[in-house]
């Protein structure tokens, strides 16, 4: 899956006193594309994301997956490392976690949506309930 250019938000890292537009490019330090993995075995499903997903993102995946699978699990820092994954709503709030969220505001939500799509594809292929 392609990723936007990584940028370090000094606004998020320095407590919000820097203008939000001040971002340092991190091209070459973080990948420009990544892989998501989804696996199902009977009524159990796993989604593996390449970063550290915020709780809200992991719960969103689990909630959607449990519509078709009895048990759902989310694994982070799998196959790659893209930093912290946060919701678009949290992306602009200065914090330790958003400082480590180096892609644009939609990246955490986009990777979450893709993980849910992969789980739906597994279900359509005959996996799950």
Q: What is the pLDDT of residue 129?
A: 56
Q: Are 97 and 86 in contact (CB under 8 A)?
A: yes
**Rounded CA gap, 77 and 79, in Å?**
7
Mean residue pLDDT of the chain comes to 95
Q: Which residues contact 31 (CB under 8 A, 6 or more apart)?
A: 3, 50, 80, 82
- pLDDT over 60 at 128, yes or no: no
Condensed to tens digits (0 to 9), the pLDDT of residues 41-63 reads 999 999 999 999 999 999 999 99
Q: Any idea which residue has 């009524």 for tokens?
A: 43
**CA-wise closest residue to 11 among 98, 110, 87:** 98
Q: How would residue 127 be classed by pLDDT, with cut points 50, 70 and 90?
A: low
Condensed to tens digits (0 to 9), the pLDDT of residues 18-45 reads 998 999 999 999 999 999 999 999 999 9
């Amino acid at each position: 899956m392609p990723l936007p250019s990584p940028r370090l938000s000094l606004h998020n890292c320095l407590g919000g006193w820097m203008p939000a537009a001040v971002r340092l490019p991190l091209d070459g330090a973080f990948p420009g594309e990544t892989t998501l993995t989804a696996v199902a075995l009977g009524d159990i499903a796993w989604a593996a994301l390449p970063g550290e997903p915020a709780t809200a993102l992991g719960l969103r995946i689990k909630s959607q997956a449990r519509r078709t699978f009895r048990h759902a699990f989310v694994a982070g820092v799998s196959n790659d490392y893209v930093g912290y994954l946060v919701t678009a709503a949290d992306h602009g709030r200065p914090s330790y976690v958003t400082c480590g969220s180096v892609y644009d505001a939609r990246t955490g939500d986009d990777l979450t949506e893709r993980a849910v799509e992969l789980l739906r594809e597994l279900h359509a292929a005959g996996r799950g309930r």
